[in-house]
Amino acid sequence: MVKILNLNLFNYVDFDKRKPKIIKFIKKHDPDIIVFQEVRDDLEFNKKGDNQLKQLNRELNYPHSIFYPVTDKRKERPGKYKKPCIEGTGILSKFKILKSEKKKLKKHEEDIYNCGNLYLKIKAEKVIDLIVVHFSNRDLFSLLHLIETLKEIKKRKINPIIVGDFNMRHPEYLRDLTEEKYKISYYYKKYISYPAAKYTLDYIVIPKKYKFKSFKCLGKGLSDHKALVAEVAF
């Protein structure tokens, strides 16, 4: 079994206030693997290279970590950022990460966001494939990113756990594209992960050969998103 926690970190918005809450929450739930989106290395707030993943892990002390610097925010939104600002995804793991690969997703016309997937092979009770995702935040583009990801999975001949901020307000789209081979956290136990708009944007998707032993969506004041905490049995 593996215990996974997912949280969109909401970059540096009120991070000084939220950081101790996030650390306390993670320590309470004690996950084996933690997945983050909107992790920043932002020179307005930190020294170069001292990204938010590193800052959290100084308190959490997970032995294995990877930060995927997906996008340069100054190039993505010229004029908004005065200092260098890189945003991406990250993972902390108690288990050894045997292999990792960072792969950009296609940037579609009219989509201002750059997105990418982090492909991992992790040695838990058994070796598992895991993909960290953060798709673009419009329905069409997130759907296209999901289709692209599923094609890549087929090409790689893997059967992964997929975790992250899918930015999909309609879980039925995710279900319709994955139900043959996967189980979705939302259909194990329905929840709202983005309370401000009463949407579900974040999901944990597992191969059908695995099962959810438990699942919760919770965490007040951690972020603009709630955290997902799942125990996955092999």
Per-residue pLDDT of the chain (234 residues; tens, 9 = 90+): 999 999 999 999 999 999 999 999 999 999 999 999 999 999 999 999 999 999 999 999 999 999 999 999 999 888 889 899 999 999 999 999 999 999 999 999 999 999 999 999 999 999 999 999 999 999 999 999 999 999 999 999 999 999 999 999 999 999 999 999 999 999 999 999 999 999 999 999 999 999 999 999 999 999 999 999 999 999
Residues 6+ apart with CB under 8 A from 160: 119, 128, 129, 130, 131, 153, 207
At the fourth CATH level, the homologous superfamily of domain 2-233 is Endonuclease/exonuclease/phosphatase (3.60.10.10)
pLDDT, residue 77, reads: 86
| Distance between CA atoms of residues 115 and 97, nearest Å | 22
Question: On the CB side of 4, how many CA atoms lie within 13 Å of its CA?
Answer: 29
**Confidence at residue 80, expressed as pLDDT on a 0 to 100 scale:** 87
* Residue 79 confidence (pLDDT): 83
- Given a contact cutoff of 8 angstroms between Cβ atoms, the answer to whether 211 and 183 are in contact is yes
- Residue 189's H or E segment, with its range, is none
> How high is the pLDDT of residue 78?
84
What's the pLDDT at 76? 87
- Pick from 53, 43, 45: which is nearest to 12 by CA? 45
State the Cα–Cα distance between residues 183 and 61, nearest whole angstrom.
Answer: 31
Distance of CA 50 to CAs 57, 168, 228, Å? Answer: 11, 31, 25
